[in-house]
Amino acid sequence: MSIAKLSDDLMKVPKLDVTGTNWVIYKDQFLWSINARGLLKHVDGSGVEPKSPVVCKMVTQKKGDSVGDPAVDEMETVEAPLSKGDEKKEEEWLKKLKVWKQGEAVVKQQIAATIPNSLFMKIRGKSSALEI
């Protein structure tokens, strides 16, 4: 099933008035616009950033066990290399993470482009679209 690309005209959201008098219209049109892009989960709390399924494994080894290092009688804890299965899981997670971050960027840009600069200055440090 393919989704037709929506025209930019369909995605236009009115700029939020500095006084907030058009808040209800702005909010509804913003949510409809984001929903049309399939990104509503970024602002309604129903989605979360994908977490890495791979847990770094730590192993204890003798210092100097790596190639070219002289042997030392001390132990150190180092990160173990990932298994092939873990590498595949990490690659899949990185793809999902990229899609999530792009969605966050689109929603944040939609917000930034439609609010007054004075409000933008207050929210620009927020880390997620949901937080904004």
Per-residue model confidence as pLDDT tens digits over 67-120: 555 555 566 665 666 677 778 888 888 999 999 999 999 999 999 999 999 999
Number of domains in the chain: 1
- 18, part of any domain: yes
Percent of the chain scored above 90 by pLDDT?
56
- 1, part of any domain: no
Lowest mean pLDDT among 21-30, 51-60, 91-100, 112-121: 51-60
> What does the mean pLDDT of the chain come to?
82
Range of the domain at 105: 13-52+84-123
- 23, part of any domain: yes
Answering whether pTM is above 0.75, one says no
* Closest among 77, 53, 54 to 65, alpha carbons compared: 77
* Strand partners of residue 76: 61
- 74, part of any domain: no
pLDDT at residue 23 greater than cutoff 90: yes
- 68, part of any domain: no
Which residues, including other chains, have CB under 8 Å from residue 110's CB and lie 6 or more apart?
11, 13, 30, 33, 34
pLDDT score, position 85: 77
- 61, part of any domain: no
* SS3 category, 31: helix
pLDDT at residue 45 greater than cutoff 50: yes
- 104, part of any domain: yes
pLDDT at residue 41 greater than cutoff 90: yes
pLDDT score, position 2: 47
- 31, part of any domain: yes
Higher pLDDT, 55 or 15: 15
pLDDT score, position 1: 44
